[in-house]
Amino acid sequence: MAAGIAVLRYRLYDIDRLINRTLVYGLLTAILGGVYTATVLVLGQLFGGIGAEPPSWAVAGATLSVAALFQPARRRIQAVVDRRFNRRKYDAVQTVEAFTARLRDEVDLDTLSAELLTVVDQTMQPTTASYGSSHRYRHRQRAGFEDLTVDSP
């Protein structure tokens, strides 16, 4: 009992990952097994008659359909499990994707710095965060347009 508590409390042996994979592949096996069984039974009833053995092409078709459904079903089930049981990871991915979309449109360095610190704070939740640049930027206006120059340190 003490070993079980220690494993759960201190996250030994990557137990969260083990539970996640068990849920995903257990659900995937149950769903795809049900799809396979239903497909073979329906095609067998339609083309083989009641009580007769299903035709071999029906079994082959059901096998191919389950093989084709494997990766899309696994991705969807993984997303549902992550959203339900690993919310911080799911939220972090959503935050980084939103920052990437904003990054394409933003050109102001100060705004980008502030947004980068916000994203780091939201995704990793550090105790402190800072952003340093190796160059100092100086703005000057000349002839009606703004010019950005870099001062050497």
Residue 133 pLDDT class (50, 70, 90 cuts): low
Amino acid at the residue 5: I
Q: Which amino acid is at 25?
A: Y
Give the predicted TM-score (pTM) of the model.
0.55
Domain ranges in the chain? 2-85, 87-125
* CA-based radius of gyration for the chain: 28
Q: Which of 13-27, 40-54, 109-123, 124-138 reaches the highest mean pLDDT?
A: 13-27
Higher pLDDT, 44 or 30: 30
Beta bridge partners of residue 142, listed in sequence order: 145
For residues 62 and 119, give the distance between their C-alpha atoms in angstroms, rounded to a whole number: 46
Determine the distance from the C-alpha atom of residue 107 to the mean position of all C-alpha atoms in its chain, rounded to a whole number. Answer: 28
Q: Strand, helix or coil at 114?
A: helix
pLDDT, average across residues 48-74: 88
pLDDT tens digits along 14-40: 777 888 899 999 999 999 999 999 999
- Determine the average pLDDT of the residues in 38-49: 86
Q: What stretches of the chain show up as alpha helix (H) in DSSP?
A: 2-9, 15-47, 56-85, 87-105, 109-124
Residue count of the chain, please give it. Answer: 153
- Report, as an integer, the average pLDDT of 44-55: 79
